């Protein structure tokens, strides 16, 4: 047996023994079912706590991060095996976190040794829950026109302004924030990426209620909020570079999550709900479902190809935009098809799964840079089409 | 195998592109079409393809072939899409596949070297209806003779051998027929892509079984998969080429005092096609790799690839023609030649509608 086979066998045995039954099963959306960590976190039940703590202690909340930062230092092959073995028993992720998905990669790439040592272990151990502060009421698609202002006074940053669409901002401890620190520089070059503690009088939040009844977003206000001078990631005024790197991560994640998070195919839902005879009586719906399955399959293969390209050190600069665009549009159609399959039942319950994805789909086409922004990126940078 | 090209594959692509650009550019297809030549391909170009090892490269080494796999065949087909090279490439790949699958040792030893060397053009006599239909056949085999009519036999004009699918008591069988034998009538077609194809009538025509009588069902299914994967690869090449030509035109054509490619209405439509091409090329390669690996999902992946590329290539051609404006609908511009080939290649061995239905039933059980 190879080392990898050994690792797989050990991992399988450990997961079998340590993942509580209640922590297994289909993905339930980004709800409180999953643990998000942070100073204000409360465990939903004993199993949630047990599962989180066991995984944390093995460094498997961030398996590929170095051990010194709370990870397990696994190479890509072992990390893939762990992921496959978790998927095999449908083990839920022990810790959901913007720190893991977004800030961590940015710190690993741009952070100082001190910043890494200070923040990464707390992310890995779920001690600090991070929020993302990008969009502003006046800066959405044109993100670089943001106006939240930061001034260095008496050895610390003083921040004033407001961020919007802060995901679960009321439950977070710290926020990585884009702040205009060089007001006289061209708009892309005057922005810094600053880490701000939200537990201070200068930071307040207000919830935003959505059409599906959820309120996962808040508006965040900075009123003379402060942060130590050394909490700038990357050089001062170069926050846009950090952001571009991170948005690449986010777009790829939004796009590929459209394939990964789906445990039930639309066709399996259709079969269960309508039966083979019901679908036969509805040939238009049947073909629409088949077309959706084909597109979904193609997207899954594209994600697989992107991973293979990464392993072969071939980088496809525009893949995040492609995946984001195509993945979110696919998700739109998925939501619509689930509503069609659900018929009169589906329109009668705001809390039902199909309604939830139906009403949530539009948000994905906007978040992380609207799909028109992705089309602009592809037109200008991938195709080299001229500016107007 | 990962969904990236190996070094050998990259070299093969470069070699094929170099050869086809020089020896079989789009202008050669146009010249051939305008000459009224009935063969509709250039034998000397076909001979050079043989010398380059481009004909049926998937035939295993054990059978005297190059053993380069279906991926290699697909990559060559893709490059042929770029230049619209009119050759009996697909017919050769199909014939070789059928012989490898079911041919007797003697038949393999006789036929495969000739096919690979480009010395024997073989037409696959399969279709009988108005559209692709792999279910059943009305052509019969009795007492050593076949009777009935086959449609759209690719490279049927001038072919030296036909492989005919006919019904036997033991199920569908494959039969070798000499086109010059008694009872054969070859009726040349005039396909819109200017390529060689014919309808063929058989009336008590002597036929020799390829392999054992009636054991051909799986081989036919497998060969259809291969043909679909190769056509999908060709469609990808055509779509990429037509798209690149269109983007170049958007940068060059000036209206209202600026290049039309600066208008967002056109930019976003072009960007959307770029995204779809970028996604779908993975599925094309995946189907070829699945054939090479004997993956049991290969059959559905070939349908996915062919169905998706038939639709996407058409969508690309609609935009390519439209974005070229008035010149786009003239015979003078090559875009029209790409448009016509896309229609034919889509129709062969199942279009998007056919494969969507097939996938619905067989892959998703709906």
Look at residue B289 and give its three-state secondary structure: helix
pLDDT for position A256? 67
CB nearest A383 (choices: B259, B270, B282): B270
The model's confidence at residue A27, banded by pLDDT at 50, 70 and 90, is low
| B262–A378 C-beta distance less than 8 A | no
Between residues A341 and A253, the one the model is more confident about:
A341
pLDDT for position B358? 97
**Whether the predicted pLDDT of A34 surpasses 50:** yes
pLDDT for position A28? 59
pLDDT for position A260? 47
Distance from CA of B281 to the nearest CA of A (A): 8
Q: Which overall architecture, per CATH, does domain B7-116 show?
A: Orthogonal Bundle (1.10)
Question: Given A85, A136, A250, A252, which residue is catalytic?
Answer: A250
Residue ranges of chain B assigned to CATH 1.10.540.10: 7-116
User: Is the Cβ–Cβ distance between B272 and B323 less than 8 Å?
Assistant: no
Block residue for tokens 């004009």:
B157
CA-closest candidate to residue A7, choices A111, A109, A81: A81
Distance from CA of B128 to the nearest CA of A (A): 26
Fold of B122-209: Butyryl-CoA Dehydrogenase, subunit A; domain 2 (2.40.110)
Q: Which of A324-333, A354-363, B169-178 has the lowest mean pLDDT?
A: A354-363
Kind and range of the H or E run holding B19 = helix B7-23
Between residues A20 and A314, the one the model is more confident about:
A20
| Mean confidence (pLDDT) of chain A | 90
pLDDT, tens digit, for every residue of B154-173? 999 999 999 999 999 888 99
The CA distances from residue A148 to A170, A220, A232, A238, in Å, are: 19, 11, 15, 15
Residue ranges of chain A assigned to CATH 1.20.140.10: 241-382
**Whether the predicted pLDDT of A261 surpasses 60:** no
CA-closest candidate to residue A233, choices A201, A202, A196: A196
What is the mean pLDDT of the segment spanning A71-87? 90
Burial of B228 (0-12, 13-18, 19+ CB in 10 A): buried
CB nearest A297 (choices: B2, B259, B304): B304
Dist CA A176 CA A131 (whole Å)? 6
Chain B contacts of A374, Cβ < 8 Å? 271
Chain B contacts of A319, Cβ < 8 Å? 278
Distance from CA of A325 to the nearest CA of B (A): 8
The CA distances from residue B271 to A325, B164, B246, in Å, are: 10, 45, 12
* Assigned CATH for A130-237: 2.40.110.10
pLDDT for position A120? 97
Mutate to test the interface with B, among A305, A312, A324 (most CBs of B within 10 A): A305
Dist CA A97 CA A219 (whole Å)? 19
* Assigned CATH for A3-107: 1.10.540
**Catalytic residue status for A250:** yes
Fold of B217-362: Butyryl-CoA Dehydrogenase, subunit A; domain 3 (1.20.140)
**Whether the predicted pLDDT of A262 surpasses 60:** no
| B267–A379 C-beta distance less than 8 A | yes
Which residue from B minimizes the CA distance to A270? B366
| A305–B282 C-beta distance less than 8 A | yes
Residue ranges of chain A assigned to CATH 1.10.540: 3-107
| B4–A293 C-beta distance less than 8 A | no
pLDDT for position B319? 98
**Whether the predicted pLDDT of A255 surpasses 80:** no
Which residue from B minimizes the CA distance to A271? B366
Residue ranges of chain B assigned to CATH 2.40.110.10: 122-209
Distance from CA of B274 to the nearest CA of A (A): 8
CA-closest candidate to residue A193, choices A182, A181, A177, A180: A177
Mutate to test the interface with A, among B7, B254, B257, B364 (most CBs of A within 10 A): B364
pLDDT for position A366? 81
**Whether the predicted pLDDT of A29 surpasses 60:** no
Which residue from B minimizes the CA distance to A276? B366
Between residues A270 and A316, the one the model is more confident about:
A270
| B2–A308 C-beta distance less than 8 A | yes
CB nearest A302 (choices: B279, B357, B366): B279
Dist CA B336 CA B29 (whole Å)? 12
ipTM of the complex: 0.95
The CA distances from residue A304 to A204, A330, A347, B102, in Å, are: 42, 17, 35, 35
| B285–A305 C-beta distance less than 8 A | yes
pLDDT for position A263? 57
Residue ranges of chain A assigned to CATH 2.40.110.10: 130-237
pLDDT, tens digit, for every residue of A182-192? 999 999 999 99
CB nearest A383 (choices: B4, B247, B304): B247
B265 Cβ under 8 Å from any chain A Cβ = no
Low-confidence ranges of chain B (pLDDT < 50): none
Distance from CA of B365 to the nearest CA of A (A): 8
**In which region does residue A321 sit, left (phi positive, over 0), alpha (psi from -120 to 50) or beta (all else)?**
alpha
Dist CA A158 CA B86 (whole Å)? 70
Distance from CA of B258 to the nearest CA of A (A): 8
User: What is the percentage of chain A residues whose pLDDT exceeds 70?
Assistant: 96
Q: Which of A35-39, A179-183, A260-264, A305-309 has the lowest mean pLDDT?
A: A260-264
User: Is the Cβ–Cβ distance between B163 and B154 less than 8 Å?
Assistant: no
CB nearest B2 (choices: A265, A291, A311): A311
| B272–A290 C-beta distance less than 8 A | no
* Assigned CATH for A241-382: 1.20.140.10
B6 Cβ under 8 Å from any chain A Cβ = no
């Amino acid at each position: 047996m190879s080392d990898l086979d050994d690792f797989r066998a050990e991992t399988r045995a450990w997961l079998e023994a340590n993942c509580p039954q209640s922590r297994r099963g289909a993905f339930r959306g980004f709800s409180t079912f999953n643990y998000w960590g942070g100073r204000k976190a409360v465990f939903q039940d004993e199993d949630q706590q047990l599962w989180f703590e066991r995984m944390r202690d093995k460094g498997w909340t961030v398996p590929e991060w170095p051990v010194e930062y709370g990870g397990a230092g696994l190479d890509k092959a072992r990390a893939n095996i762990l992921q496959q073995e978790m998927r095999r028993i449908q083990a839920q992720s022990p810790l959901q976190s913007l720190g893991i998905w977004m800030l961590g990669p940015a710190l690993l790439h741009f952070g100082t040794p001190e910043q890494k040592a200070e923040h990464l272990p707390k992310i890995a151990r779920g001690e600090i829950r991070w929020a993302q502060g990008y969009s502003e009421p006046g800066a959405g698609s044109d993100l670089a026109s943001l106006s939240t202002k930061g001034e260095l006074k008496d050895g610390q940053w003083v921040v004033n302004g407001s961020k919007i669409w802060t995901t679960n901002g009321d439950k977070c401890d710290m926020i990585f924030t884009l702040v205009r620190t060089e007001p006289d520089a061209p708009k892309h070059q005057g922005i810094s990426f600053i880490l701000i503690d939200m537990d201070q009088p200068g930071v307040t939040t207000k919830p935003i209620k959505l059409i599906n009844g959820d309120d996962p977003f808040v508006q965040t206000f900075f009123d003379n909020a402060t942060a130590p001078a050394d909490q700038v990631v990357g050089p001062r005024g170069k926050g846009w570079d950090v952001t571009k790197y991170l948005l690449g991560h986010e777009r790829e994640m939004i796009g590929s999550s459209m394939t990964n998070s789906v445990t039930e195919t639309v066709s399996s839902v259709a079969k269960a709900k309508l039966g083979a005879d019901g679908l036969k009586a509805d040939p238009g719906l049947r073909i629409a479902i088949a077309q959706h399955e084909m597109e979904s399959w193609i997207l899954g293969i594209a994600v697989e190809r992107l991973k293979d390209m990464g392993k072969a050190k071939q980088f496809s600069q525009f893949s995040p935009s492609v995946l984001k665009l195509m993945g979110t549009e696919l998700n739109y159609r998925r939501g619509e098809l689930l509503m069609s399959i659900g018929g009169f039942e589906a329109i009668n319950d705001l809390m039902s799964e199909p309604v939830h994805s139906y009403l949530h789909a539009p948000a994905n086409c906007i978040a992380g840079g609207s799909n028109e922004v992705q089309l602009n990126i592809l037109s200008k940078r991938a195709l080299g089409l001229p500016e107007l | 195998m990962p969904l990236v090209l190996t070094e050998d594959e990259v070299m093969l692509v470069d070699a094929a592109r170099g050869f086809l650009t020089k020896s079989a550019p789009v202008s050669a297809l146009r010249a051939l079409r305008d000459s009224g030549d009935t063969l509709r391909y250039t034998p000397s170009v076909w001979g050079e393809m043989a010398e380059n090892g481009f004909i049926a490269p998937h035939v295993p080494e054990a059978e005297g072939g190059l053993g380069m796999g279906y991926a290699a065949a697909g990559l060559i087909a893709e490059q042929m899409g770029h230049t619209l090279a009119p050759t009996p490439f697909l017919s050769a790949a199909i014939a070789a596949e059928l012989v490898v699958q079911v041919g007797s040792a003697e038949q393999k030893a006789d036929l495969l070297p000739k096919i690979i060397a480009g010395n024997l053009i073989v037409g696959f006599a399969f279709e009988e209806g108005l559209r692709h239909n792999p279910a059943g056949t009305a052509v019969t085999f009795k007492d050593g003779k076949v009777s009935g009519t086959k449609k759209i036999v690719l490279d049927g004009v001038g072919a030296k051998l036909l492989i005919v699918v006919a019904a036997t008591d033991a199920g569908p069988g494959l039969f070798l027929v000499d086109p010059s034998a008694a009872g054969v009538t070859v009726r040349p077609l005039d396909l819109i892509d200017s390529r060689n194809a014919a309808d063929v009538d058989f009336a008590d025509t002597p036929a020799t079984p390829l392999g054992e009588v009636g054991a051909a069902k799986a081989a036919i299914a497998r060969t259809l998969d291969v043909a679909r994967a190769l056509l999908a690869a060709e469609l990808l090449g055509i779509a990429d080429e037509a798209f690149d030509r269109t983007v170049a035109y958007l940068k060059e054509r000036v209206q209202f005092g600026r290049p039309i490619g600066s208008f967002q209405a056109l930019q976003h439509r072009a960007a959307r096609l770029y995204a779809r091409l970028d996604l779908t090329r993975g599925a094309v390669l995946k189907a070829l790799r699945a054939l090479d690996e004997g993956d049991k999902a290969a059959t559905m992946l070939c349908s996915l690839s062919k169905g998706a590329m038939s639709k996407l290539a058409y969508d690309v051609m609609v935009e390519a023609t439209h974005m070229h404006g008035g010149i786009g609908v003239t015979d003078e511009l090559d875009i029209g030649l790409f448009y016509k080939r896309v229609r034919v290649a889509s129709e062969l061995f199942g279009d998007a509608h056919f494969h969507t239905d097939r996938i619905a039933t067989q892959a998703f059980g709906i």
